[in-house]
Amino acid sequence: MSLDQFKDRNVTQNYMFIPVDKPPVAPLEKFKQVLKRTFKGELFVGLWVVFREMVKFNIHTVQYPKEKLPISPRYRAVHKLYRLLESGNERCIGCGLCEKICISNCIRMDTRYDENQRKEVTEYTINLGRCIFCGYCAEVCPELAIVHGPRYENASEQRAHFVLRDDILTPLDFLKEGKQEEFPGFGAVSPNADDRIKKTPLAY
Amino acid sequence: MTLTEFVIATIVKILLVLGIVSALAGFGTYLERKVLAFMQRRLGPMHVGPYGLLQVLADGIKLFTKEDFVPQNSIRPIFMIAPLIGAASAFIALAAVPLLPEFKIFGITVHPIIADVNVGILFVLGVMATGLYAPLLAGMASSNKWGLLGAARTVIQLLSYEVVTGLSVMAPLMLVGSLSLIDINNYQANGFKEWIIWQQPVAFVLFLIAGFAETNRTPFDLLEHEAEIVSGFATEYSGMRWGMFFIGEYTNMITLAFLASLVFLGGFNEWGFLPGGLAIILKVSFLFFFFLWTRAAWPHVRPDQLMWLCWKVLLPLAVVNIVITGLVLMM
């Protein structure tokens, strides 16, 4: 679809009117219509269509807990906190941007300076009861530390099961097995990010 | 055969028919759900047992253990007895239907008919019509407006199809000259070409249409059409009382399939290389499948359309059919 077509909001362009005959009024016309509908065999067309579908056996059911439909990498479900691939340290630098930008005020973090005078995150919770999954936190994060994962099945006995940092942070053993995939979805850098970097214009 | 033997044989037959047909009626719900699902590109019941085969069992456990609920302002005895009428009349109608050709087992000749009434088809149709008391009483006794509407529709339906059923069967009966279902069957004994459907195609179509109305199946399922009147007469029912309506409905379907194949499709006579028993089971299975098939394919009609169809189209057709049959017979 070209851009012109896409921008055209005149939705009627591809619509056409199906000619509908006026319902008959005269008794003879009504009788003719009944005869036509009776002997046209439309009922058998219906029978044939459903029988064909049964024989084709083209089943569309997804047996949900056993099989799941693939979801888009841009899907915004329960958050994840990522670790640095080599050192295994947390990527989060405790800048607090996500806490600041969160429009439903559901992110809460505590930080302190560790012995190397680096910021360390001690508490990081997301109240998923309030979160509207807008994705601003993932978008604003400068370190790609918080992202939206694909886990949409958030039914649990307690909502506290989802809010704690331990639940969303990549486990260390998981990281060591190399299973933390760089996230291609929401908040991730685009594949050609390096080309798009511009030098800070210091000339003025 | 002494009287004692006759009584014992009849009781055994009754128990067998009751057991087998009610099991088949239960299995029919499974078949219906599967066939409808396949026609709509779904899978249907899959979780209980292999391919959902034990779904009937699970449904049965659910229905039996559910609370037997009687609403406050209902007329209690009638409310409680109405489903029994539905199921009982369906099974009583089956009593006069010859289910299979007679066969020998352990040296005894078995007639697979519980009561060989000489007015068999009248008896069957009459008792099946009595079954309409079940939705009527159920709807009127349950003190529910949807139930009342369902009951009113029952009367409309009864008034519409009953005449057509009788008149459509009359033409084949004129050919045969007997009301006994066995006589009707024997009339078609000389093979495929002797089936009454070839002489009375119009009567067959009329009988099928009226049968759909009689068994309350989809093109004419006015009594409990959920998009319009919640569940009609069965709105207030739950548990096994509700289940009884269903057993009655499916038994009626089986009875009607037997009736149609006996009167029009050659009954249990041998069909080519097929032995008679297998032939009638095949015909009945096809008609049963046809009931499900139409449910997947066709929309249902309004009550006024049903009355229009039955009184203004089918009734004149049936009368004309009878007159022509009579003229041909006289010549």
Beta strands in B53-131 (DSSP E): 103-105, 108-110
Q: Percent of chain B beyond pLDDT 70? A: 100
Question: What pLDDT, on a 0 to 100 scale, did the predictor assign at position A65?
Answer: 84
Instruction: Dump pLDDT digits (tens) for B45-55.
Output: 888 888 888 88
Question: What pLDDT, on a 0 to 100 scale, did the predictor assign at position A188?
Answer: 64
Q: Percent of chain A beyond pLDDT 90? A: 3
Residue A81 burial by CB count (10 A; 0-12/13-18/19+): exposed, middle or buried?
buried
Residue B186 burial by CB count (10 A; 0-12/13-18/19+): exposed, middle or buried?
middle
**Summary mean pLDDT of chain A:** 80
| Structural domain boundaries in chain A | 79-176
Place of tokens 């029994």: B84
Report, as an integer, the average pLDDT of A111-129: 85
Q: Looking at the complex, report in whole angstroms how far the Cα of residue B75 sits from the nearest Cα belonging to chain A.
A: 42
Report, as an integer, the average pLDDT of A20-31: 86
Beta strands in B48-149 (DSSP E): 103-105, 108-110
- ipTM of this predicted complex? 0.78
pTM over 0.95: no
> Out of B35, B40, B293, whose CB is closest to A47?
B293
DSSP assignment of A128-197 = TTT-----HHHHH-TTS-EEE-S------S-GGGGTSHHHHBPPHHHHHTT--PPP-STTPPPTTTTTT-
Distance, in Å, from the CA atom of A124 to the CA atom of A98, rounded to the nearest integer, reads 11
* Chain-chain contact of B41 with A63 (C-beta, under 8 angstroms): no
Question: What pLDDT, on a 0 to 100 scale, did the predictor assign at position A189?
Answer: 66
The highest-confidence range among A8-12, A79-83, B16-20, by mean pLDDT, is B16-20
* Chain-chain contact of B39 with A53 (C-beta, under 8 angstroms): yes
Instruction: Dump pLDDT digits (tens) for B207-263.
Output: 988 888 888 887 887 777 777 888 888 888 888 888 888 888 888 888 999 888 888
> Out of B46, B293, B298, whose CB is closest to A51?
B293
DSSP symbol at B274: B
Instruction: Dump pLDDT digits (tens) for B254-313.
Output: 899 988 888 888 878 777 787 878 888 888 999 999 988 998 888 888 888 888 888 888
Q: Are B233 and B154 in contact (CB under 8 A)?
A: yes
Query: Which numeric CATH code is attached to A79-176?
Result: 3.30.70.3270
Between positions 26 and 55 of A, the ones with CB within 8 A of B are: 34, 43, 46-47, 49-51, 53-54
Report, as an integer, the average pLDDT of B81-95: 89
Q: Looking at the complex, report in whole angstroms how far the Cα of residue A30 sits from the nearest Cα belonging to chain B.
A: 13
pLDDT value at A93 more than 70:
yes
Report, as an integer, the average pLDDT of A23-45: 85
* Chain-chain contact of A59 with B313 (C-beta, under 8 angstroms): no
Question: What pLDDT, on a 0 to 100 scale, did the predictor assign at position A9?
Answer: 64
Amino acid at B76: R
pLDDT value at A1 more than 60:
no
Q: Which chain B residues are within 8 Å of A43, Cβ to Cβ?
A: 297-298
Distances, alpha carbon A106 to alpha carbons A93, B67, B288, in Å: 19, 45, 59
Q: Tell me if chain B has a CB within 8 Å of the CB of A58.
A: yes
Q: Tell me if chain B has a CB within 8 Å of the CB of A62.
A: no
